Structure formats: structure tokens, C-alpha cells
Structure 1
């Protein structure tokens, strides 16, 4: 009887997890629903809101990859802004040479994947603040590369991106929203497939206890490198999407603060959840816009430049106090309390 009582909580938790997995909608349903929602919103919103919608899609692409790296694998990266810059410059150089959008996006993803592989091999030997320091050094070094090879990257002036006009009579902003969200939804779909399988289990095992994972037969270093490569590929695709949005690439578009904002966004949204990455992408667009409008009303340019970071910090503190698991965990916490 004692053994039965001791096992009951474990059996109950297992039953709850199985019931929750049965309640999940299949991934193709989520994908089709996302496509329909974006089509409806892009037709209903004005041009500027369509541009903001496209920007959210571009941010979602990078936050989804970063939340897999940091939330599921436990590797802290402060250099994803530099990886986005790598993808953006790779896209610009390829697009100006070939004038082929699919090939240019592929070139951007491959270039950033290679950079992520190199960084990941070094990161697999580092832990904690040393890993954060390595990625921070990458974020600092990449802008200086554009100044060193100014003949190729045009230094601080950056590169313009040659793009063909949208097909037919489609407005440019609507086409940008479709293009960015096509990349974002495809990224989210592929990442969801990965994290629901064996790769996701290995990520969580390495995050929770490297020694136990190693004893269970998981190759810890390989999993960490794979996680960094996957996250870097997402960052490279996001950089290409931002190049399409701005139709130009420059070092000023990818400052060090961008990497910090990305980390804060996934923490506020909810680490390890793709829904949290979407919340983080929304905040990355909405909070700076609100801070800019508040700074313009106050009539202070200095306040306008620093207010976004202050707002992010305040939101981070409030969310961590109210919902330590991030915004994506609020719904699950309320359901558990009701049960």
C-alpha cells in the first residue's frame, strides 16, 4: 500500500502529460492557421502596420532559434545580433551578384550556419560567463570587420540590396509581410518538429544535467554544437529578412544592444517555448515604438534613445515577479490553479 501511494503522484503526473500531449493540435494545423491569420491581417492592416507585421515575423525567426539554444539547451548567447549581421551581409552580397531571392536567402543561411559551427565548436568547451563572454566578443568584432574590408562591405555606409518589385499589383509592405512570415512559419514548424523528437530530449537532458546525459549515452558536445548551428541558421535567415525589409545593410542596424534585447525578449516571453519566442518578437516591435512615441511627446532626443532599454528592463522585472516562467506560462499556471 505504501508503494502504491508513493507511485500515485508519478502516475498522475504521467497521465496529465499524456492528456496534455493528446490535446495538442497537430503541427500542420498550426501552420495552416498561421498562414490564414497572416493573409487576413495583411489584407486588413494599413501599409505601416504591415511593415510592423513583417518586422515581427523577422524577429520571431531569430527569437525562436535563440529560445531553443538558451531555453532548451542552456547556452547563453550574447552575439546573435552579429549572426544576424552575417546573414544580412551574405544575403546582400549574393542578391547584388545573382539577383535571385531564393539563392540569396540560401547563401545567407549557409554562411551563418558555417559561422555558427565555428562558434559552436568553441562554445562546446565553455560554460557560464565564459560562453557569454565569447559570444559577446563576436558581437563586438563583427562590426569592425566591415571597416577592415571596406571595399567589400562599404564600411559604415553599408550595402544597398537590389530587389525586384513585388509581382502584380501587390503592395510592397504586404509582400514583405508575406515573405517574412513565410520564413518565420517555416522556421517555427521545423523547430517544433526538432524539439518534439529525440533532438529535443537530448537538448533538455544536456541542459538539466550534463553528467546524467553523458551516462545515458548522449554526446554532450555534439548536441551543444548542433544547437548552436540550428540557432545560428535561424539568425542568418532573420538577417536576410531584415535586409529585405530595409533594402540595405549596415553595421548600425545590428548594434550590441540588439543582442541584449533578443535575450531579454525570450526571457520575458518564456524560455524554451516557441510561444514565448512569439511574445518576445511582439515586444521587440511594440515596446520600442511605444518608447519612441513617449520620447517624442516629451520632446527629448536623449530620452527617446534610452527609453526603450529602460522600458524593457521594467517589463522584465515585472514579468519575472508576476510570472517567473514568462508570458507564455501564464495560461498554464492559471489552468493548474483551477484544477
Structure 2
């Protein structure tokens, strides 16, 4: 029943999101496609870190693995004469396979490493991506790999623009990725991940294999990150090592913490910040009367500074991130509403006689019966003596 409800909610949310694209201009639809791509990565990262307790600083490398897998598969299918939906689905399969294999290797290492050692391994992976791209001829070094153009299908060309179609595809892929993570989180696998995160020894004594759980978490997170990388390649028609730098990995982790670690709503808020915050900062700096040299120096660095300040403020004021702050605000609003409703109820006050008068029943014109007075203790009297006594 829970799985069916999750699928229905995902389908309804996807329909609403696709309908919202008709209210946006092409540039906003392009930004929405980028948000959907980064949502795949942040959702997988928040499940990995918040649910299984494994730290990753190399999710940009997993996105790159998915992007290269998509690009190489699409180019191979193009050479074989396949196009359209079949080529796109084949590219998605290639992205899932490549990113899943990389995630499996990291998961096997993560089963033996903990804390900073695992973080260092993932950090090494994202640093090694440019070197691998330069040494493999098929990846074409820093130039990257270009893919064939995927335009709007013929039946929809008169209805929507290219950016809106790209937003549709990105939203569909993100819906599949997030729904899979929700099912994983709410199932037995999610329960086992929480048990391993809280206490590996206790989980092992309960019959849970911590190594298998960690590998599963890394594979699931890597596959969703690879789907995000494939969406980016679908939108930009190219993939290169420069599109997935170390700064992107750190930015994804900060976005997950700012949004709310362990919450898929926080992952969505973090993906929005990854796309919109640099654009907002750039818009503000362009509007200010600053010299060109200062604007060029602030380009790309000021957004990271704002992210850092926002992270410090949220850690100090709202450790649960934006999602936790929203949840706490809703809880306070409900508490105030409940307190207001309880205060507005009429309370029956006791009468001076002690017992409260019963509310009138039956005929409203009948006189009310007086309340029965409470008996009071009488004062003891001296006994009367008869003449025969004493």
C-alpha cells in the first residue's frame, strides 16, 4: 500500500511539474532542467550520508561517470542508426551501468573504510577524473565528448519549445530516481541502513550484514548521481571533465547539509540553491556599479562565499537545515492553533455554593432548580441537664 501511494504521489507531482513548465519562459525551463539534474545527485547523496552514514566528497565524479556513459552509448547508437526514444533510453542504460560499476567499487572500499578515510578515497576519485579523461582516447581529453542533438519530437514541435521539452525529460528522470530512493528508504533496506548507521555491532548481532548494506547504499547513490549526469549531457549535448570539478562535489555536499541532511525535501531545496544562488548573486553583482575587474574576480567565488555563510548560519540557528526549519515552523503553528482552540473553549465555573448548577434540559421556560447547598458541619451544643441529674 505504501509503495502504491508513493507511485501515485510521484505521478501526480510529475504531472503538476510538467504543467508548471507552461508558465515559465525558456530560460526558466532551462534552469528547471538543471535543478532536476542536480536533484538526482543531491537526493542520492542525502540518502548515502544521512541514511547509511557514509561520507562522500566525490559525487561530481559519479555524475561524470554517468555523463560519459550516456554520451558514449548515445554516440555508439547513433553510429548504428538508432535515434529518438530508443537512443535516449539506451544512453540512460549506459549511464546507469557505468555509474553503478563505479559506485560498486566505491561501496566495496567503503565497507572497509570509515569516516575521513572514505572521504579521502572519494576525493581522490574526483581529482583523478581529469587525468583519466586525458589518458583515455575515447574520452577526448579536456575537449570532452559531444553527442547528437535530441530535439523536440515531431508531434510536439508546434506546442512546446526545446527548453520545455528538455525540462520534461529532466523532470521524468528525476521523478524515477527520487521515487526509487523513497521506496528504498521506506523499505527493509532503509531500515537496515539506519541500523548500520546507528550501531554496526548491534546491527551485525541482529543478523544484518553491514558490508552489504553499505555497498547497496553506495550503488543506489551512484546510480542516481549518474542519472543526473546523463540529464546534464542531454541538456548541453556534451560532457567534459571541466563540467564536474572538485568544487561541484563540495557544493553538492554543502547543498545537502543546507537543505537538510537525510531529507529528500532538503535535497530538493539544495538542488534549487545550487542552480539559483549563483544566478542570483551574478544578477546582484551585475546590477551594482562595480568595476569590471571586481566583477570578474567575484564571478564564481561570491556564490561559494554566500553558500558558506548560509551553512554557518543554519548550523548555528537551525541544525536540521531548511527542511528542518520548515518542519519546526509547521509544528509551532499547529501548537499555537491547538492552544488557541483550547483557550477558546467555554469552561464551567463552580458556583459559590460549591456544586456547579446543571445545564437546563427539556423545556427552556421551566424554572431552573436551585443548586443543592453543601451541608456544613454544625457547632456542637452542650447537652441539656434534667433536674434528676446531678
Match of 1:174 in 2: 164
How do residues 120-269 of structure 1 correspond to structure 2 at under 5 angstroms?
A: 120-149=107-136, 151-168=137-154, 169=157, 170-269=160-259
- Aligned partner of 1:114 among 101, 105, 121: 101
* Cα displacement (A) at 1:236: 0.8
* Cα displacement (A) at 1:335: 4.0
Structure 2: distance between partners of 1:28 and 1:250: 35
* Cα displacement (A) at 1:334: 2.8
Change (3 A) 1:254 1:303: same
* Cα displacement (A) at 1:280: 0.7
Return the index of the structure with the highest Cα Rg: 2
Structure 2: distance between partners of 1:269 and 1:33: 23
- TM-score, structure 2 normalization: 0.78
- Aligned partner of 2:11 among 29, 32, 53: 32
- Aligned partner of 2:28 among 49, 69, 84: 49
Structure 1: distance between partners of 2:116 and 2:58: 13
What CA RMSD, in Å, does the superposition of the two structures yield over aligned residues?
1.7
Structure 2: distance between partners of 1:335 and 1:206: 31
Pick which of 168-177 and 224-233 moved more.
168-177
Q: Which runs of 5+ in 1 are unaligned?
A: 1-21
How do residues 1-16 of structure 1 correspond to structure 2 at under 5 angstroms?
A: none
Q: How many residue pairs end up in the alignment? A: 317
Match of 1:68 in 2: 47
Q: Deviations over 1:141-197 (max 9, x none)?
A: 111111112x21111111111133211213110111000010101111111111101
Structure 2: distance between partners of 1:319 and 1:192: 25
Q: Deviations over 1:266-305 (max 9, x none)?
A: 1011111111110111111111111222333433201112
Structure 2: distance between partners of 1:212 and 1:117: 25
Q: Deviations over 1:119-152 (max 9, x none)?
A: 1101111111111000000010111111112x21
Match of 1:280 in 2: 270
Structure 2: distance between partners of 1:52 and 1:159: 22
Q: Deviations over 1:78-112 (max 9, x none)?
A: 00101111111111111111031101110111111
Structure 2: distance between partners of 1:318 and 1:153: 41
Match of 1:312 in 2: 307
Q: Does 1:292 align with 2:278?
A: no
* Cα displacement (A) at 1:26: 2.8
* Cα displacement (A) at 1:25: 10
Q: Deviations over 1:34-83 (max 9, x none)?
A: 12221221111000000001111001111111110001111010001011
Structure 2: distance between partners of 1:32 and 1:145: 39
